[in-house]
């Protein structure tokens, strides 16, 4: 019986497919080392099986089209931007033109309003410029140079009373 068993390192090297002829010869002769290597390989095999099954189970619960579904908003956003940007630019370009050329009907209405405003302002100006308000205008004609005697007589009448 061979007592020079494979070291832990050598067993790991065997698992990693780094196998030397001496290693293979020893394993063919030594049941103990064969069992140790097989045990480690079994453990790794069980781990792999469990990992693959768990992953497959988890993946099966998720729809395949997620990637495409996530891509679509990005693409549609680009198309939307491509459609909107020229429209915005066109509106910006048309805005000064529209402002500088109002419609004829609006223009005529504006002229009418302006003339009405002017007339009103003239009327107000005339009223403000008058020395006596229009309601008291008749009183300015009551006393004149020819009527002074009459005015004095009337004064005496008031004193006598």
Partner 1 sequence: MEALEQLNYPGELSPLRDRMIAELEDVNTLCATYRSRIYRYALLSLKDPDLAETVTQDCFLKAFKARKDFRGDCSIATWLTRIATNLIRDCTRSRKFQFWKTAGSTALEAGDIADRLRSPGISPENSLVVREELVKVWDAVDALPDKQRSVFVLRFVEEMELPEIATAMGLHVGTIKSHLHRGLAAVRKAMEKTR
Judging by beta carbons within 10 Å of its beta carbon (0-12, 13-18, 19+), is residue 117 exposed, middle or buried?
exposed
At 144, which helix (H) or strand (E)?
none
Interface with partner 1 (CB under 8 A): 8-9, 11-12, 15-16, 39-40, 42-44, 46-59, 62, 64, 66-68, 70-71
Kindly state the DSSP code that residue 18 receives in the 8-state scheme: -
The single residue listed with the structure tokens 């500088």 is 100
At 55, which helix (H) or strand (E)?
helix 31-60
Alpha-carbon distances, residue 154 vs 27, 72, 146 (angstroms): 158, 107, 14
The least distance separating partner 1 from the CB of residue 21, rounded to whole angstroms, comes to 20
Distance separating alpha carbons of residues 161 and 158, to the nearest angstrom = 5
The least distance separating partner 1 from the CB of residue 43, rounded to whole angstroms, comes to 5
Beta carbon nearer to partner 1, 63 or 86: 63
Beta carbon nearer to partner 1, 77 or 109: 77
Beta carbon nearer to partner 1, 35 or 121: 35
The least distance separating partner 1 from the CB of residue 89, rounded to whole angstroms, comes to 29
The least distance separating partner 1 from the CB of residue 19, rounded to whole angstroms, comes to 14
Beta carbon nearer to partner 1, 78 or 155: 78
């Amino acid at each position: 019986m061979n007592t020079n068993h494979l070291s832990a390192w050598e067993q790991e090297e065997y698992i990693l497919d780094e196998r030397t002829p001496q290693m293979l010869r020893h394993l063919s002769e030594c049941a103990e080392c064969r069992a140790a290597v097989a045990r480690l390989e079994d453990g790794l095999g069980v781990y792999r099986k469990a990992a693959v099954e768990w992953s497959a189970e988890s993946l099966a619960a998720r729809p395949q089209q997620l990637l495409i579904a996530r891509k679509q908003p990005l693409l549609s956003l680009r198309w939307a931007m491509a459609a909107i940007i020229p429209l915005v630019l066109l509106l910006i370009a048309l805005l000064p033109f529209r402002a500088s050329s109002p419609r004829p009907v609006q223009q005529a209405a504006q002229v009418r309003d302006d003339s009405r405003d002017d007339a009103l302002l003239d009327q107000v100006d005339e009223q403000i410029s008058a020395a006596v308000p229009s309601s008291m205008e008749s009183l300015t004609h009551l006393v004149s140079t020819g009527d002074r005697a009459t005015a004095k007589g009337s004064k005496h009448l008031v004193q006598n009373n």
